[in-house]
Structure 1
Amino acid sequence: MQILTLKNGGDTMIFGCHVSIRNGYFGAAKRAADFGAAAYQYFPKNPRSLSVKDFDKGDATSCKEFCQEHNLISVAHTPYSTSLTPSEDKKEITIRSLLNDLEIADTCGSVGVVVHFGSQISKTDPLASYHLMLEMLNSVLSQWNGNCLLLIENNAGTKGALGTTFEELVQVRNLTEYPEKIGFCLDTCHMFASGLWNGENTEEFFAKGEELAYFEHLKVIHLNNSKYPTGSNRDRHANIFQNGLIKEKSLQEIVKSPVVKHIPFVLETPDDEGISHQEEINQLYQKWG
Protein backbone atom coordinates (compact mmCIF):
# COMPACT_ATOMS: atom_id res chain seq x y z
CA MET A 1 0.00 0.00 0.00
CA GLN A 2 1.35 3.40 -1.00
CA ILE A 3 0.72 5.92 1.78
CA LEU A 4 1.44 9.62 1.36
CA THR A 5 2.22 11.12 4.75
CA LEU A 6 1.89 14.88 5.02
CA LYS A 7 4.15 16.90 7.24
CA ASN A 8 2.44 19.58 9.28
CA GLY A 9 3.43 22.99 8.03
CA GLY A 10 5.12 21.52 4.95
CA ASP A 11 4.69 22.50 1.33
CA THR A 12 3.21 19.21 0.13
CA MET A 13 -0.04 19.73 -1.72
CA ILE A 14 -3.12 17.78 -0.66
CA PHE A 15 -4.50 15.96 -3.71
CA GLY A 16 -7.09 13.19 -3.83
CA CYS A 17 -10.21 11.93 -5.60
CA HIS A 18 -13.71 10.57 -5.13
CA VAL A 19 -13.78 6.88 -4.17
CA SER A 20 -16.48 4.23 -3.84
CA ILE A 21 -17.66 2.74 -0.53
CA ARG A 22 -18.46 -0.61 -2.13
CA ASN A 23 -16.01 -2.19 0.34
CA GLY A 24 -17.17 -0.07 3.27
CA TYR A 25 -15.88 3.18 4.74
CA PHE A 26 -12.61 1.65 5.93
CA GLY A 27 -12.21 0.08 2.50
CA ALA A 28 -12.73 3.48 0.85
CA ALA A 29 -10.00 5.04 2.98
CA LYS A 30 -7.58 2.23 2.14
CA ARG A 31 -8.39 2.55 -1.56
CA ALA A 32 -7.63 6.28 -1.47
CA ALA A 33 -4.33 5.52 0.24
CA ASP A 34 -3.53 2.92 -2.44
CA PHE A 35 -3.99 5.70 -5.02
CA GLY A 36 -1.33 7.79 -3.25
CA ALA A 37 -4.02 10.31 -2.27
CA ALA A 38 -3.77 12.63 0.73
CA ALA A 39 -7.53 13.28 0.69
CA TYR A 40 -10.68 11.69 -0.69
CA GLN A 41 -14.42 12.15 -1.06
CA TYR A 42 -17.18 9.53 -0.81
CA PHE A 43 -20.95 9.17 -0.81
CA PRO A 44 -21.98 8.13 2.72
CA LYS A 45 -24.82 6.01 1.28
CA ASN A 46 -26.57 5.20 -1.99
CA PRO A 47 -26.00 8.34 -4.12
CA ARG A 48 -29.45 8.00 -5.67
CA SER A 49 -31.44 7.73 -2.45
CA LEU A 50 -32.51 10.01 0.40
CA SER A 51 -33.33 7.08 2.65
CA VAL A 52 -31.73 6.94 6.10
CA LYS A 53 -28.93 4.37 6.26
CA ASP A 54 -28.40 2.15 9.29
CA PHE A 55 -24.62 2.16 8.89
CA ASP A 56 -21.87 0.01 10.41
CA LYS A 57 -20.42 2.22 13.15
CA GLY A 58 -17.48 -0.12 13.71
CA ASP A 59 -16.49 0.16 10.05
CA ALA A 60 -16.85 3.95 10.17
CA THR A 61 -14.74 4.16 13.34
CA SER A 62 -12.01 2.03 11.73
CA CYS A 63 -12.08 4.45 8.81
CA LYS A 64 -11.58 7.39 11.16
CA GLU A 65 -8.68 5.70 12.97
CA PHE A 66 -6.97 4.79 9.69
CA CYS A 67 -7.29 8.35 8.40
CA GLN A 68 -5.90 9.79 11.63
CA GLU A 69 -2.96 7.38 11.54
CA HIS A 70 -2.07 8.28 7.96
CA ASN A 71 -3.00 11.99 7.91
CA LEU A 72 -5.68 11.25 5.31
CA ILE A 73 -8.40 13.88 4.97
CA SER A 74 -11.92 12.80 4.02
CA VAL A 75 -15.09 14.62 3.03
CA ALA A 76 -18.54 13.22 2.26
CA HIS A 77 -20.96 14.30 -0.46
CA THR A 78 -24.74 14.20 -0.17
CA PRO A 79 -26.73 12.03 -2.62
CA TYR A 80 -27.54 13.52 -6.05
CA SER A 81 -31.18 14.16 -5.17
CA THR A 82 -30.39 16.24 -2.07
CA SER A 83 -31.60 19.82 -2.39
CA LEU A 84 -31.63 22.75 0.02
CA THR A 85 -34.70 24.01 -1.88
CA PRO A 86 -36.89 20.88 -1.92
CA SER A 87 -40.58 20.65 -2.75
CA GLU A 88 -42.91 20.71 0.25
CA ASP A 89 -43.35 16.93 0.24
CA LYS A 90 -39.56 16.37 0.27
CA LYS A 91 -38.63 18.69 3.17
CA GLU A 92 -38.74 16.20 6.05
CA ILE A 93 -37.09 13.34 4.18
CA THR A 94 -34.32 15.72 3.05
CA ILE A 95 -33.74 16.94 6.60
CA ARG A 96 -33.53 13.35 7.90
CA SER A 97 -31.21 12.40 5.07
CA LEU A 98 -28.86 15.32 5.72
CA LEU A 99 -28.70 14.51 9.43
CA ASN A 100 -27.93 10.88 8.53
CA ASP A 101 -25.14 12.03 6.17
CA LEU A 102 -23.66 14.23 8.90
CA GLU A 103 -23.75 11.40 11.45
CA ILE A 104 -22.03 8.95 9.10
CA ALA A 105 -19.38 11.48 8.05
CA ASP A 106 -18.74 12.49 11.65
CA THR A 107 -18.21 8.87 12.68
CA CYS A 108 -15.78 8.47 9.76
CA GLY A 109 -13.88 11.53 10.99
CA SER A 110 -14.65 13.58 7.89
CA VAL A 111 -14.23 17.34 7.68
CA GLY A 112 -17.72 17.89 6.37
CA VAL A 113 -20.58 16.94 4.08
CA VAL A 114 -20.84 18.74 0.75
CA VAL A 115 -24.27 19.94 -0.36
CA HIS A 116 -25.09 21.99 -3.44
CA PHE A 117 -26.45 25.52 -3.12
CA GLY A 118 -30.21 25.62 -3.76
CA SER A 119 -31.94 26.32 -7.09
CA GLN A 120 -34.62 28.78 -8.19
CA ILE A 121 -38.13 27.77 -7.03
CA SER A 122 -40.19 30.84 -7.99
CA LYS A 123 -40.41 32.96 -11.12
CA THR A 124 -42.13 35.79 -9.26
CA ASP A 125 -40.30 35.90 -5.92
CA PRO A 126 -36.49 35.98 -6.35
CA LEU A 127 -35.97 35.64 -2.58
CA ALA A 128 -38.12 32.54 -2.11
CA SER A 129 -35.23 30.15 -2.72
CA TYR A 130 -32.99 31.90 -0.20
CA HIS A 131 -35.72 31.89 2.44
CA LEU A 132 -36.27 28.15 1.95
CA MET A 133 -32.53 27.45 2.08
CA LEU A 134 -32.25 29.27 5.40
CA GLU A 135 -35.26 27.38 6.75
CA MET A 136 -33.72 24.05 5.72
CA LEU A 137 -30.26 24.87 7.07
CA ASN A 138 -31.66 26.05 10.39
CA SER A 139 -33.85 22.94 10.69
CA VAL A 140 -30.95 20.59 10.07
CA LEU A 141 -28.29 22.37 12.09
CA SER A 142 -30.53 22.98 15.11
CA GLN A 143 -30.53 19.18 15.48
CA TRP A 144 -26.83 18.67 14.78
CA ASN A 145 -24.12 18.93 17.44
CA GLY A 146 -21.26 16.91 15.95
CA ASN A 147 -17.89 18.16 14.68
CA CYS A 148 -18.67 17.57 11.01
CA LEU A 149 -19.59 20.71 9.04
CA LEU A 150 -22.16 21.18 6.31
CA LEU A 151 -20.19 22.44 3.28
CA ILE A 152 -22.12 24.52 0.75
CA GLU A 153 -20.87 24.13 -2.82
CA ASN A 154 -21.01 26.83 -5.49
CA ASN A 155 -23.23 26.15 -8.51
CA ALA A 156 -22.37 26.17 -12.22
CA GLY A 157 -25.38 28.39 -12.97
CA THR A 158 -28.00 25.89 -14.10
CA LYS A 159 -31.57 25.83 -12.75
CA GLY A 160 -31.97 29.54 -12.12
CA ALA A 161 -28.31 30.51 -11.70
CA LEU A 162 -28.29 30.69 -7.90
CA GLY A 163 -25.19 30.09 -5.80
CA THR A 164 -22.71 31.36 -8.36
CA THR A 165 -21.24 34.33 -6.47
CA PHE A 166 -19.15 34.76 -3.34
CA GLU A 167 -21.74 37.27 -2.09
CA GLU A 168 -24.58 34.70 -2.14
CA LEU A 169 -22.55 31.96 -0.52
CA VAL A 170 -21.22 34.13 2.28
CA GLN A 171 -24.54 35.85 2.93
CA VAL A 172 -26.49 32.59 3.25
CA ARG A 173 -23.96 31.33 5.79
CA ASN A 174 -24.07 34.62 7.71
CA LEU A 175 -27.87 34.69 7.84
CA THR A 176 -28.28 31.21 9.30
CA GLU A 177 -28.70 30.73 13.03
CA TYR A 178 -25.67 28.39 13.05
CA PRO A 179 -22.93 29.84 10.81
CA GLU A 180 -20.26 28.07 12.89
CA LYS A 181 -21.61 24.74 11.62
CA ILE A 182 -21.24 25.72 7.94
CA GLY A 183 -18.21 25.82 5.66
CA PHE A 184 -17.70 25.96 1.91
CA CYS A 185 -16.72 23.66 -0.95
CA LEU A 186 -15.40 25.34 -4.11
CA ASP A 187 -15.72 23.57 -7.48
CA THR A 188 -13.33 24.80 -10.20
CA CYS A 189 -15.53 23.58 -13.07
CA HIS A 190 -18.58 25.27 -11.55
CA MET A 191 -16.79 28.57 -10.97
CA PHE A 192 -15.52 28.51 -14.58
CA ALA A 193 -18.91 27.57 -16.04
CA SER A 194 -20.73 30.25 -14.02
CA GLY A 195 -18.23 32.99 -14.89
CA LEU A 196 -17.22 33.56 -11.28
CA TRP A 197 -13.72 32.79 -12.56
CA ASN A 198 -12.94 32.83 -16.28
CA GLY A 199 -9.33 31.65 -16.16
CA GLU A 200 -8.00 35.19 -16.67
CA ASN A 201 -9.26 37.02 -13.57
CA THR A 202 -7.49 34.99 -10.88
CA GLU A 203 -6.15 37.98 -8.97
CA GLU A 204 -9.58 39.61 -8.79
CA PHE A 205 -11.17 36.25 -7.90
CA PHE A 206 -8.97 35.77 -4.85
CA ALA A 207 -9.20 39.43 -3.83
CA LYS A 208 -13.03 39.32 -3.81
CA GLY A 209 -13.13 36.03 -1.88
CA GLU A 210 -10.70 37.32 0.73
CA GLU A 211 -12.57 40.62 1.05
CA LEU A 212 -15.78 38.72 1.87
CA ALA A 213 -14.00 36.24 4.19
CA TYR A 214 -15.09 33.33 1.98
CA PHE A 215 -11.73 31.58 2.07
CA GLU A 216 -11.67 31.64 5.87
CA HIS A 217 -14.40 28.98 5.80
CA LEU A 218 -13.33 27.03 2.70
CA LYS A 219 -12.66 23.37 3.63
CA VAL A 220 -12.32 21.53 0.31
CA ILE A 221 -11.88 22.26 -3.40
CA HIS A 222 -13.31 20.05 -6.13
CA LEU A 223 -10.54 20.10 -8.73
CA ASN A 224 -12.15 19.67 -12.14
CA ASN A 225 -11.56 20.93 -15.66
CA SER A 226 -14.55 21.87 -17.82
CA LYS A 227 -15.86 20.47 -21.12
CA TYR A 228 -17.73 23.70 -21.83
CA PRO A 229 -16.53 27.33 -22.01
CA THR A 230 -16.67 29.86 -19.23
CA GLY A 231 -20.08 31.49 -18.81
CA SER A 232 -21.85 28.50 -20.41
CA ASN A 233 -23.56 27.45 -17.15
CA ARG A 234 -22.91 23.85 -18.24
CA ASP A 235 -21.70 21.45 -15.53
CA ARG A 236 -19.59 18.86 -17.34
CA HIS A 237 -16.31 17.88 -15.72
CA ALA A 238 -13.18 17.11 -17.72
CA ASN A 239 -9.83 15.66 -16.72
CA ILE A 240 -7.27 18.19 -15.53
CA PHE A 241 -4.66 17.83 -18.28
CA GLN A 242 -6.75 16.53 -21.21
CA ASN A 243 -10.05 17.30 -22.96
CA GLY A 244 -10.74 20.41 -20.83
CA LEU A 245 -11.20 24.06 -21.80
CA ILE A 246 -9.50 25.52 -18.71
CA LYS A 247 -5.86 26.14 -19.54
CA GLU A 248 -3.27 24.34 -17.44
CA LYS A 249 -1.63 27.65 -16.57
CA SER A 250 -4.93 29.03 -15.27
CA LEU A 251 -5.61 25.99 -13.08
CA GLN A 252 -2.05 26.17 -11.79
CA GLU A 253 -2.64 29.75 -10.63
CA ILE A 254 -5.56 28.48 -8.53
CA VAL A 255 -3.84 25.39 -7.17
CA LYS A 256 -0.57 27.12 -6.29
CA SER A 257 -2.11 30.22 -4.71
CA PRO A 258 -1.01 30.74 -1.09
CA VAL A 259 -4.64 31.58 -0.27
CA VAL A 260 -5.62 27.89 -0.63
CA LYS A 261 -2.24 26.32 0.15
CA HIS A 262 -3.50 23.96 2.86
CA ILE A 263 -6.92 23.17 1.35
CA PRO A 264 -7.45 19.61 0.02
CA PHE A 265 -8.03 19.36 -3.76
CA VAL A 266 -10.31 16.43 -4.62
CA LEU A 267 -10.80 15.20 -8.19
CA GLU A 268 -14.32 14.56 -9.50
CA THR A 269 -13.02 13.99 -13.01
CA PRO A 270 -13.96 11.14 -15.38
CA ASP A 271 -11.99 7.95 -14.72
CA ASP A 272 -13.11 6.21 -17.91
CA GLU A 273 -11.78 8.58 -20.57
CA GLY A 274 -8.22 7.37 -20.92
CA ILE A 275 -6.82 8.13 -17.47
CA SER A 276 -7.50 6.70 -14.02
CA HIS A 277 -7.76 8.71 -10.83
CA GLN A 278 -4.56 7.13 -9.57
CA GLU A 279 -2.71 8.26 -12.71
CA GLU A 280 -4.23 11.72 -12.49
CA ILE A 281 -3.21 12.11 -8.83
CA ASN A 282 0.33 11.11 -9.78
CA GLN A 283 0.30 13.74 -12.54
CA LEU A 284 -0.84 16.40 -10.08
CA TYR A 285 1.98 15.63 -7.65
CA GLN A 286 4.54 15.54 -10.45
CA LYS A 287 3.48 18.90 -11.85
CA TRP A 288 2.28 20.83 -8.82
CA GLY A 289 3.02 18.81 -5.70
Structure 2
Amino acid sequence: MKFGCHLSIGDGYLGAAKKAFKMGAAAFQYFPKNPRSLSIKDFSQDDAALCKTFCDENNILSVSHTPYPTSITPHDAKKREQVIRSLLNDLEITEACGSIGAVVHFGKHLKNKTLIESYQLMIEVLNEVLSEWNGQAKVLLENNAGVPGTIGTTLEELVQIRKLCDYPEKIGFCLDTCHAFSCGLWNGDNWAEVIQKGKDLGYFDELKVIHLNNSKYPTGEGKDRHAPIFQGGYIKEDQFDQLMKTPKLKEIPFILETPKEVVPHEKEIKQLQEKWG
Protein backbone atom coordinates (compact mmCIF):
# COMPACT_ATOMS: atom_id res chain seq x y z
CA MET A 1 0.00 0.00 0.00
CA LYS A 2 1.12 3.56 -0.72
CA PHE A 3 0.46 5.79 2.29
CA GLY A 4 1.24 9.49 2.59
CA CYS A 5 -0.14 12.82 3.77
CA HIS A 6 -0.57 16.46 2.84
CA LEU A 7 2.68 18.43 3.22
CA SER A 8 3.67 22.09 3.16
CA ILE A 9 5.78 23.53 0.33
CA GLY A 10 7.31 26.06 2.72
CA ASP A 11 10.73 24.60 1.82
CA GLY A 12 9.82 24.23 -1.85
CA TYR A 13 8.50 21.30 -3.87
CA LEU A 14 11.75 19.37 -3.45
CA GLY A 15 11.60 20.10 0.28
CA ALA A 16 8.14 18.54 0.49
CA ALA A 17 9.33 15.45 -1.39
CA LYS A 18 12.33 15.09 0.93
CA LYS A 19 10.08 15.41 3.97
CA ALA A 20 7.83 12.65 2.62
CA PHE A 21 10.89 10.43 2.16
CA LYS A 22 12.14 11.18 5.68
CA MET A 23 8.71 10.26 7.09
CA GLY A 24 8.76 6.94 5.28
CA ALA A 25 5.81 7.96 3.13
CA ALA A 26 5.28 6.51 -0.34
CA ALA A 27 3.19 9.50 -1.46
CA PHE A 28 2.32 13.09 -0.58
CA GLN A 29 -0.06 15.88 -1.50
CA TYR A 30 0.70 19.60 -1.63
CA PHE A 31 -0.87 22.94 -2.50
CA PRO A 32 0.93 24.16 -5.65
CA LYS A 33 0.68 27.75 -4.36
CA ASN A 34 -1.06 29.89 -1.72
CA PRO A 35 -4.08 27.74 -0.71
CA ARG A 36 -6.26 30.81 -0.17
CA SER A 37 -5.63 32.57 -3.46
CA LEU A 38 -6.36 32.18 -7.16
CA SER A 39 -3.32 34.25 -8.06
CA ILE A 40 -0.91 32.98 -10.71
CA LYS A 41 2.37 31.70 -9.30
CA ASP A 42 5.65 32.28 -11.10
CA PHE A 43 7.19 29.11 -9.71
CA SER A 44 10.75 27.79 -9.81
CA GLN A 45 11.05 25.35 -12.71
CA ASP A 46 14.34 24.10 -11.26
CA ASP A 47 12.78 23.30 -7.87
CA ALA A 48 9.87 21.49 -9.55
CA ALA A 49 12.24 19.50 -11.78
CA LEU A 50 14.33 18.47 -8.78
CA CYS A 51 11.14 17.37 -7.01
CA LYS A 52 10.19 15.22 -10.00
CA THR A 53 13.64 13.63 -10.19
CA PHE A 54 13.76 12.94 -6.44
CA CYS A 55 10.33 11.31 -6.50
CA ASP A 56 11.22 9.19 -9.53
CA GLU A 57 14.45 8.02 -7.88
CA ASN A 58 12.74 7.18 -4.60
CA ASN A 59 9.47 5.75 -5.97
CA ILE A 60 7.32 8.44 -4.35
CA LEU A 61 3.98 9.46 -5.88
CA SER A 62 2.65 12.98 -5.55
CA VAL A 63 -0.55 14.85 -6.23
CA SER A 64 -1.46 18.52 -5.90
CA HIS A 65 -4.62 20.04 -4.43
CA THR A 66 -6.01 23.22 -5.94
CA PRO A 67 -6.47 26.26 -3.65
CA TYR A 68 -9.65 26.55 -1.56
CA PRO A 69 -11.27 29.29 -3.71
CA THR A 70 -11.14 27.06 -6.80
CA SER A 71 -14.73 26.41 -7.88
CA ILE A 72 -15.76 24.82 -11.16
CA THR A 73 -19.18 26.41 -10.65
CA PRO A 74 -18.03 30.05 -10.43
CA HIS A 75 -20.79 32.54 -9.59
CA ASP A 76 -19.86 35.19 -12.17
CA ALA A 77 -17.73 35.85 -15.27
CA LYS A 78 -14.85 37.42 -13.32
CA LYS A 79 -14.56 34.47 -10.94
CA ARG A 80 -14.85 32.07 -13.88
CA GLU A 81 -11.84 33.62 -15.62
CA GLN A 82 -9.84 33.62 -12.37
CA VAL A 83 -10.60 29.94 -11.76
CA ILE A 84 -9.67 28.93 -15.30
CA ARG A 85 -6.32 30.79 -15.24
CA SER A 86 -5.53 29.54 -11.75
CA LEU A 87 -6.34 25.93 -12.57
CA LEU A 88 -4.15 26.02 -15.66
CA ASN A 89 -1.34 27.40 -13.49
CA ASP A 90 -1.92 24.59 -10.97
CA LEU A 91 -1.74 21.98 -13.73
CA GLU A 92 1.49 23.49 -15.05
CA ILE A 93 3.09 23.26 -11.60
CA THR A 94 1.69 19.77 -11.06
CA GLU A 95 3.15 18.61 -14.36
CA ALA A 96 6.55 20.14 -13.63
CA CYS A 97 6.68 18.32 -10.29
CA GLY A 98 5.87 15.03 -11.99
CA SER A 99 2.61 14.66 -10.06
CA ILE A 100 -0.36 12.54 -11.05
CA GLY A 101 -2.81 15.40 -11.19
CA ALA A 102 -4.51 18.27 -9.41
CA VAL A 103 -7.43 17.52 -7.10
CA VAL A 104 -10.46 19.75 -7.74
CA HIS A 105 -13.62 19.74 -5.67
CA PHE A 106 -16.81 18.90 -7.54
CA GLY A 107 -18.95 22.00 -8.10
CA LYS A 108 -21.92 23.29 -6.14
CA HIS A 109 -25.57 23.83 -6.97
CA LEU A 110 -25.71 27.60 -7.49
CA LYS A 111 -28.77 29.29 -5.98
CA ASN A 112 -29.48 31.33 -9.12
CA LYS A 113 -29.27 28.31 -11.41
CA THR A 114 -31.11 25.03 -11.80
CA LEU A 115 -29.30 21.81 -11.00
CA ILE A 116 -28.91 21.07 -14.71
CA GLU A 117 -27.50 24.57 -15.31
CA SER A 118 -24.96 24.03 -12.52
CA TYR A 119 -23.84 20.76 -14.10
CA GLN A 120 -23.61 22.49 -17.50
CA LEU A 121 -21.46 25.25 -16.01
CA MET A 122 -19.09 22.65 -14.56
CA ILE A 123 -18.70 21.03 -17.97
CA GLU A 124 -18.13 24.38 -19.68
CA VAL A 125 -15.42 25.40 -17.20
CA LEU A 126 -13.67 22.03 -17.44
CA ASN A 127 -13.81 22.15 -21.24
CA GLU A 128 -12.33 25.63 -21.30
CA VAL A 129 -9.46 24.60 -19.02
CA LEU A 130 -8.73 21.30 -20.73
CA SER A 131 -8.91 22.74 -24.24
CA GLU A 132 -5.77 24.70 -23.30
CA TRP A 133 -4.08 21.91 -21.35
CA ASN A 134 -1.89 19.37 -23.17
CA GLY A 135 0.16 17.92 -20.32
CA GLN A 136 -0.04 14.49 -18.68
CA ALA A 137 -1.27 15.71 -15.28
CA LYS A 138 -5.01 15.20 -14.89
CA VAL A 139 -7.82 17.14 -13.29
CA LEU A 140 -8.92 14.87 -10.43
CA LEU A 141 -12.56 15.43 -9.47
CA GLU A 142 -13.19 14.88 -5.76
CA ASN A 143 -16.53 13.68 -4.38
CA ASN A 144 -18.37 16.17 -2.17
CA ALA A 145 -19.41 15.82 1.45
CA GLY A 146 -22.99 16.60 2.45
CA VAL A 147 -26.31 15.08 3.40
CA PRO A 148 -27.65 12.41 1.03
CA GLY A 149 -28.74 14.03 -2.22
CA THR A 150 -26.21 16.87 -2.09
CA ILE A 151 -24.65 17.60 -5.49
CA GLY A 152 -21.42 15.72 -6.20
CA THR A 153 -21.95 12.92 -3.70
CA THR A 154 -22.69 10.05 -6.11
CA LEU A 155 -20.39 8.06 -8.36
CA GLU A 156 -22.94 8.47 -11.15
CA GLU A 157 -22.51 12.27 -11.13
CA LEU A 158 -18.73 12.12 -11.18
CA VAL A 159 -18.65 9.61 -14.02
CA GLN A 160 -21.30 11.46 -16.03
CA ILE A 161 -19.56 14.84 -15.78
CA ARG A 162 -16.36 13.21 -17.03
CA LYS A 163 -18.19 11.52 -19.90
CA LEU A 164 -19.91 14.72 -20.99
CA CYS A 165 -16.69 16.73 -21.12
CA ASP A 166 -14.92 17.09 -24.45
CA TYR A 167 -11.67 15.77 -22.93
CA PRO A 168 -12.57 12.85 -20.62
CA GLU A 169 -9.08 11.40 -21.02
CA LYS A 170 -7.72 14.42 -19.11
CA ILE A 171 -9.97 13.79 -16.09
CA GLY A 172 -9.61 11.30 -13.24
CA PHE A 173 -11.11 10.92 -9.77
CA CYS A 174 -10.17 11.40 -6.14
CA LEU A 175 -12.22 9.52 -3.52
CA ASP A 176 -12.46 11.13 -0.08
CA THR A 177 -13.50 8.51 2.49
CA CYS A 178 -14.89 11.05 5.00
CA HIS A 179 -16.92 12.76 2.26
CA ALA A 180 -18.28 9.40 1.10
CA PHE A 181 -19.18 8.49 4.69
CA SER A 182 -20.80 11.86 5.44
CA CYS A 183 -23.32 11.51 2.61
CA GLY A 184 -23.93 7.78 3.02
CA LEU A 185 -22.33 6.76 -0.27
CA TRP A 186 -20.17 4.52 1.90
CA ASN A 187 -21.92 3.89 5.22
CA GLY A 188 -19.17 1.64 6.54
CA ASP A 189 -21.09 -1.57 5.85
CA ASN A 190 -21.71 -1.40 2.10
CA TRP A 191 -18.20 -1.33 0.63
CA ALA A 192 -18.96 -4.35 -1.58
CA GLU A 193 -21.87 -2.42 -3.11
CA VAL A 194 -19.72 0.67 -3.65
CA ILE A 195 -17.06 -1.41 -5.39
CA GLN A 196 -19.59 -3.14 -7.63
CA LYS A 197 -21.28 0.12 -8.59
CA GLY A 198 -17.90 1.74 -9.23
CA LYS A 199 -16.84 -1.15 -11.45
CA ASP A 200 -20.09 -1.07 -13.39
CA LEU A 201 -19.75 2.68 -13.99
CA GLY A 202 -16.04 2.56 -14.81
CA TYR A 203 -15.29 4.86 -11.86
CA PHE A 204 -12.47 2.77 -10.42
CA ASP A 205 -10.73 2.63 -13.79
CA GLU A 206 -10.16 6.37 -13.48
CA LEU A 207 -9.56 6.61 -9.71
CA LYS A 208 -6.06 8.04 -9.16
CA VAL A 209 -5.90 8.98 -5.47
CA ILE A 210 -7.75 8.42 -2.19
CA HIS A 211 -8.05 10.98 0.60
CA LEU A 212 -7.89 8.69 3.62
CA ASN A 213 -9.90 10.32 6.40
CA ASN A 214 -12.06 9.12 9.26
CA SER A 215 -15.21 11.02 10.24
CA LYS A 216 -16.00 12.77 13.52
CA TYR A 217 -19.71 12.29 12.86
CA PRO A 218 -21.97 9.35 11.94
CA THR A 219 -22.71 8.49 8.35
CA GLY A 220 -25.49 10.38 6.58
CA GLU A 221 -25.21 13.53 8.71
CA GLY A 222 -23.46 15.49 5.97
CA LYS A 223 -20.71 16.87 8.20
CA ASP A 224 -17.21 17.14 6.73
CA ARG A 225 -15.11 16.81 9.88
CA HIS A 226 -12.03 14.62 9.61
CA ALA A 227 -10.76 12.36 12.39
CA PRO A 228 -7.63 10.18 12.70
CA ILE A 229 -7.92 6.72 11.19
CA PHE A 230 -7.48 4.83 14.47
CA GLN A 231 -8.79 7.36 16.99
CA GLY A 232 -12.06 9.19 17.59
CA GLY A 233 -13.80 8.40 14.30
CA TYR A 234 -17.02 6.65 13.32
CA ILE A 235 -15.42 4.56 10.55
CA LYS A 236 -14.19 1.43 12.28
CA GLU A 237 -10.94 -0.40 11.67
CA ASP A 238 -12.64 -3.46 10.20
CA GLN A 239 -14.54 -1.19 7.79
CA PHE A 240 -11.32 0.45 6.60
CA ASP A 241 -9.91 -3.08 6.32
CA GLN A 242 -12.42 -3.91 3.56
CA LEU A 243 -11.27 -0.88 1.60
CA MET A 244 -7.57 -1.61 2.10
CA LYS A 245 -7.92 -5.18 0.87
CA THR A 246 -9.58 -4.17 -2.42
CA PRO A 247 -7.27 -5.32 -5.26
CA LYS A 248 -8.21 -2.36 -7.49
CA LEU A 249 -6.79 0.06 -4.91
CA LYS A 250 -3.43 -1.64 -4.41
CA GLU A 251 -1.41 0.84 -6.49
CA ILE A 252 -3.38 3.98 -5.63
CA PRO A 253 -1.86 6.47 -3.16
CA PHE A 254 -3.75 6.97 0.12
CA ILE A 255 -3.29 10.54 1.34
CA LEU A 256 -4.04 11.50 4.94
CA GLU A 257 -5.85 14.78 5.55
CA THR A 258 -6.47 13.93 9.20
CA PRO A 259 -5.87 16.43 12.06
CA LYS A 260 -2.12 16.14 12.63
CA GLU A 261 -2.39 17.97 15.95
CA VAL A 262 -4.29 14.92 17.27
CA VAL A 263 -2.03 12.25 15.76
CA PRO A 264 1.16 13.38 13.95
CA HIS A 265 1.09 12.23 10.33
CA GLU A 266 4.45 10.48 10.61
CA LYS A 267 3.06 8.35 13.46
CA GLU A 268 -0.21 7.71 11.61
CA ILE A 269 1.62 6.60 8.45
CA LYS A 270 3.61 4.12 10.54
CA GLN A 271 0.38 2.83 12.09
CA LEU A 272 -1.11 2.33 8.62
CA GLN A 273 2.00 0.52 7.39
CA GLU A 274 2.07 -1.75 10.42
CA LYS A 275 -1.60 -2.61 9.96
CA TRP A 276 -1.84 -2.91 6.18
CA GLY A 277 1.71 -3.06 4.87
Shorter-chain TM-score bucket reads over 0.9
**Alpha-carbon distance, 1:255 to partner:** 1.5
8 Å CA contact retained: 1:15, 1:39: yes
Partner of 1:212: 201
Partner of 1:172: 161
Matched, 1:137 2:126: yes
For 1:221, what is the secondary structure of its paired residue? Answer: strand
Partner of 1:222: 211
8 Å CA contact retained: 1:120, 1:160: no
8 Å CA contact retained: 2:209, 2:253: yes
Query: Which of 88, 92, 111 lines up with 1:122 in the alignment?
Result: 111
Query: Which of 168, 172, 179 lines up with 1:183 in the alignment?
Result: 172
**Alpha-carbon distance, 1:119 to partner:** 0.5
Query: Which of 7, 17, 29 lines up with 1:19 in the alignment?
Result: 7
Deviation by residue 1:229-253 (Cα, 9 ceiling, x = unmatched): 1011111110000011111110111
Deviation by residue 1:43-96 (Cα, 9 ceiling, x = unmatched): 000000000000000000000000000010000000011101011120001000
TM, length-normalised to structure 1: 0.94
**Alpha-carbon distance, 1:124 to partner:** 6.1
Letter in 1 for 2:72: L
Counterpart CA distance in 1 for 2:114 and 2:264 is 45
8 Å CA contact retained: 1:199, 1:250: yes
Query: Which of 16, 35, 52 lines up with 2:40 in the alignment?
Result: 52
Letter in 2 for 1:28: A
Counterpart CA distance in 1 for 2:15 and 2:115 is 44
Deviation by residue 1:207-247 (Cα, 9 ceiling, x = unmatched): 00000000000000000000011011111110000011111
Deviation by residue 1:85-118 (Cα, 9 ceiling, x = unmatched): 0111200010000000000000000000000000
Structure 1 runs, 4 residues or longer, greater than 4 Å off = none
Counterpart CA distance in 1 for 2:220 and 2:132 is 38
For 1:215, what is the secondary structure of its paired residue? Answer: coil
CA RMSD of aligned residues (A): 1.2
In structure 1, runs of 5+ residues without a counterpart are: 1-12
Counterpart CA distance in 2 for 1:161 and 1:34 is 40
Partner of 1:163: 152
8 Å CA contact retained: 1:206, 1:259: no
Tell me whether 68-77 or 157-166 shows the greater mean CA deviation.
157-166
Query: Which of 57, 67, 76 lines up with 1:79 in the alignment?
Result: 67
For 2:205, what is the secondary structure of its paired residue? Answer: helix
Matched, 1:286 2:274: yes
Tell me whether 250-259 or 206-215 shows the greater mean CA deviation.
250-259
**Alpha-carbon distance, 1:262 to partner:** 1.2
**Alpha-carbon distance, 1:157 to partner:** 1.9
**Alpha-carbon distance, 1:123 to partner:** 6.2
Counterpart CA distance in 1 for 2:74 and 2:236 is 36
Counterpart CA distance in 1 for 2:48 and 2:170 is 21
For 2:64, what is the secondary structure of its paired residue? Answer: strand
Counterpart CA distance in 1 for 2:65 and 2:133 is 17
**Alpha-carbon distance, 1:158 to partner:** 6.4
For 1:184, what is the secondary structure of its paired residue? Answer: strand
8 Å CA contact retained: 2:35, 2:66: yes
Counterpart CA distance in 2 for 1:208 and 1:284 is 27
TM, length-normalised to structure 2: 0.98
Matched, 1:36 2:40: no
**Alpha-carbon distance, 1:122 to partner:** 3.4
Counterpart CA distance in 1 for 2:42 and 2:115 is 38
Distance of aligned partners of 1:124 and 1:56 in 2 relative to their CA distance in 1, 3 Å threshold: closer
8 Å CA contact retained: 1:122, 1:128: no
In structure 2, runs of 5+ residues without a counterpart are: none
